[in-house]
Amino acid sequence: MKAPPPPATDNPTFDSLGLKPELVEALTSLGYEEPTPIQAAALPPLLAGKDLLGIAATGTGKTAAFALPLLQHLTAGAATPHSTSALVLVPTRELAMQVSEAIHRYGTKLGVSVLPLYGGQEIGRQLRVLKRGVDVVVATPGRALDHLRRKTLKLDNVHTVVLDEADEMLDMGFADDLEAILSETPEKRQTALFSATLPPRIASIAERHLRNPERVRIAKEKLEAGEMPRVRQTAYIVPRAFKIATLGRVLDLESPTAAIVFCRTRTEVDELTTSLNGRGWRAHALHGGMSQEQRDRVIKQFKSQQADLLIATDVAARGLDIPRLSHVVNFDVPNAPEAYVHRIGRTGRAGREGVAITLLEPREHRLLRNIEKLTGQRIEVSAVPTVSDLRARRLEMMRSSLREALVEGELEAFRGIVEDLSGEFSVMDVAAAAVKLLQEKEDEGKDAAEQDIPQVSAPSASSSERRFPPRSGPPGRGGDRPDRAPRPRTERTERTPEAGGERPERPARPPRAPEWNVTRLFIGAGRTAGMRPADLVGAIAGEAGLDSSRIGAIHIADMYSIVEVPEPDAARIISALKGATLRGKKVSVRRDTRD
């Protein structure tokens, strides 16, 4: 296999690395301008056909680092029935979907077929696609092994195997599954192994299954004093009566792999466990009122992924170590800042990014300030997700389901309807109408059951602690009264705080409705890239010189963000952001044209 030409400069481009024009074109259209460090280091050896051992944390661009060489070496459509040309193994179904979608985007112009395989998915659909053969399979180890045993997946013709987040797969108990899967692949395959750390058992796998691998290590970013490694911290200020509804909504949007929710009392643990199970989550309680046998059983079920959420008190969770923990939630803010640090330290380990979410009542803002003082970090205070955010999340999930249906094929029975309507309407409008009907059926009854959760801002917020306005609707009624009056709005609600006529020391905020025409900007990075409202506000204010008070509603989805800005400033902001970096990389910025 001919090696690609060496980079011409110290800062290589995707084109100079020797990628196919179709791949370079796809990357350009996605807004990729230059390789990240892991991509610049891993692409040359992988493109040259060598095995690779890559040590790099989540969020450094590993997916493109292995997906692009995989696609470079692939011949689309060459897979025979039940076979595949490339196999990517990942620890979770969420990552399987994410990697599958990324490979599909990169290889669109090559006509490559990609199939994610994971538990909880309808196996009939997987069997139908595998029967035809598929170019790339992205699978969790358990589901891949299940298909191997059924003989519905054959690995005789695999030329590339990727183990992504290998340390997490081992932490989740997939060591034997990995050995069984790799034993079914050809000896002369190309293998890439990526891990956030290099413990002895990862080194052992590399020694057995990689042939003279190139070693690439991307050093961890240096952390400021007092900063806790790779934990995204977010707080939501909400009246107590709405805390359970807020938690359920936040969890629906975050979709944690595994989370611990901390409460102060046993009674609260039991009540919250019942409520979350009613919302469809698999939640287990853990507190001091349980017998040791009960507690051991709950912990075992949580570690074996028979539960998504562990609702616990601090005492009951002492010494608990869950390697796959993605989220820690403070349903109640701990009175001692040190307890907060101990709680959230359970996630974001071994170079992986964790998420810490805190729900606090309006009167508890001082506890948040004490935590920030101890840790030396600012905790982002965000607007409570709205019903519109939930709809957007369901639309994103529907997009993934539709793509799987398109990969599956067998659409002949439905083409007649589309062809008949296409004589009167455009094919695009016909497809959009079908998605609309499907979404309305999916939303039926769900939004009506959602409470209207009031948006509460933190008292005495300085300009550096900007609180974002809600993205839709006036605040809800009822619930506990906040300690201070809500921010002034253009439309007053019927219910007002009984504040005894006291006025805040700071001037009242202006009405939420802007006094200028606004336009929406589409920014090609979202929650998956770690994007936060503060990042967008900081970039727009810093790069384009726009006063932060003129920035309107912000919506952050998984793969993109939408920001409202004054129409007269839109062109200047787009120009400024195109030359800037957000979360460490350049992203595409344009006017949002979806309306």
Strands (E), 528-580: 554-556, 561-566
> Would you say the pTM of this structure is higher than 0.85?
no
pLDDT of residue 66: 96
* Residue after which a domain boundary falls, among 449, 468, 502: 449
How far, in Å, are 2, 54, 436, 461 from residue 213 at the CA level? Answer: 17, 9, 49, 53
Does 65 share its domain with 155?
A: yes
> Which is more confident, 130 or 353?
130
Tokens of residue 376, six digits: 């030396």
Q: How far from 313 is each of 149, 262, 343, 421, 448, CA to CA, in Å? A: 42, 6, 11, 58, 32
pLDDT in tens, 285-304: 998 788 878 888 898 888 88
pLDDT in tens, 427-455: 888 888 887 887 777 665 455 445 567 66
State residue 568's pLDDT score: 83
276 vs 395, which has greater pLDDT? 276
Residues 566 and 441 in one domain: no
Residues 532, 413 within the same domain? no
Q: Residue 202 domain-assigned?
A: yes
Which range is least confidently modeled, 6-15, 296-305, 519-528?
6-15
User: Are residues 146 and 58 part of one domain?
Assistant: yes
- Sheet (strand 327-330) strand order: 283-286, 309-312, 259-262, 327-330, 354-360, 231-237, 380-381
Q: What is the mean pLDDT of residues 86-114?
A: 89
The tens digit of pLDDT for each residue in 136-162 reads 999 999 899 999 999 999 999 999 999
Q: Are residues 37 and 160 in the same domain?
A: yes
Residues 419 and 536 in one domain: no
Residue 210 belongs to a domain? yes
Q: Please report which confidence band the pLDDT of residue 3 belongs to, taking 50, 70 and 90 as the band edges.
A: very low
Q: What is the mean pLDDT of residues 169-198?
A: 90
Domain of residue 530 covers 518-591
Give 32's pLDDT tier (boundaries 50, 70, 90): confident
Mean pLDDT across the chain, nearest whole number? 78
Ranked by mean pLDDT, the top range of 59-63, 470-474, 513-517 is: 59-63
Alpha-carbon span 362 to 461, nearest angstrom: 12
Q: Flag whether 533 is in a domain.
A: yes
Task: Please tell me the total count of domains within the chain.
Answer: 3
Residues 29 and 109 in one domain: yes
Establish if 436 belongs to a structural domain: yes
Report d(CA 343, CA 366) in Å as an integer.
19
What's the start-to-end Cα distance of the chain, in Å?
Answer: 48
Residue at 65 is within a domain: yes
Residue 497 placed within a domain: no
Lowest-pLDDT range of 164-168, 250-254, 451-455 = 451-455
Ranked by mean pLDDT, the top range of 68-77, 116-125, 561-570 is 68-77
Cα–Cα distance for residue pair 416/327, rounded to 1 Å: 47
Residue among 447, 469, 446, 445 nearest 457 (CA): 469
Of the candidates 449, 483, 501, which is a domain's last residue? 449
Residue 47 covered by a domain = yes
Q: What is the DSSP code (8-state) at residue 490?
A: S
**pLDDT at residue 488 in the model:** 35
Which domain CATH number covers 85?
3.40.50.300
pLDDT band at 388 (very low <50, low <70, confident <90, very high): confident
Count CB-CB contacts under 10 A for residue 485.
Answer: 14
If asked whether residues 62 and 157 sit together in one domain, one would say yes
pLDDT tens-digit readout, 458-509 = 554 333 333 333 333 333 333 333 333 333 333 333 333 333 333 333 333 3
Distance CA 321, CA 243 (A): 27
